[in-house]
Amino acid sequence: MKVGPKKDVELYGLKWVNYGNLSSSALIHEIEQLGTLSDSDAELIVRTFVNVITNYVANGHNVDLGVMGTIKPKITAKSVDTEAQCKASTIEGIGILYRSRQELIDDAKKMSMRVISTSSSKSGSADLPEGGDDDSGNTGGGTSGGGGFSG
């Protein structure tokens, strides 16, 4: 359903509160601060981690990232009538599929959300408490309590 302005009706929706993007250098600095690693050691570990994952995925492996989830290669291709017609030209897309673990999804459900007005540009928004729970006890995640995490 498309949410947008309707004549004489103000509509509301939920939106994640985004406090900004975390850069890789900030992540590396955070890792360095939490342990006994230097900034360059932390950067080397993160870069090596990414390079190893990239190499395995590029060679057709699924990579288990522990509590973070799983990353694996993905391909979409046109269906054809015969095996002989299966060629590189039938490939429609190549990418990466990431599936998070349930623990990450559960943590995501605890994130702050903001109620916004979609039919007004004025600041008609209010933060919901952690978990998105409003005064009615509704988490805003439907009966399953979750959002649209497909991985």
Domain boundaries, the chain: 62-109
The mean per-residue pLDDT over the stretch 26-34 comes to: 83
User: SS3 helix, strand, coil % of the chain, rounded to 5?
Assistant: 30, 25, 45
Residue 41 pLDDT > 70: yes
Residue 88 tokens read as: 């590189």
- Percent pLDDT > 90 in the chain is 24
Among all chains, which residue has been given the structure tokens 């805003």? 140
> Could you tell me which residues come within 8 angstroms of residue 73 by beta carbon, excluding any fewer than 6 positions away?
57, 58, 60, 61, 94, 95, 96, 97
The mean per-residue pLDDT over the stretch 118-124 comes to: 50
Residue 119 pLDDT > 70: no
What is the C-alpha to C-alpha distance for residues 70 and 36, in angstroms, rounded to an integer?
A: 28
Q: Which of 7-11, 55-59, 104-108 has the lowest mean pLDDT?
A: 7-11
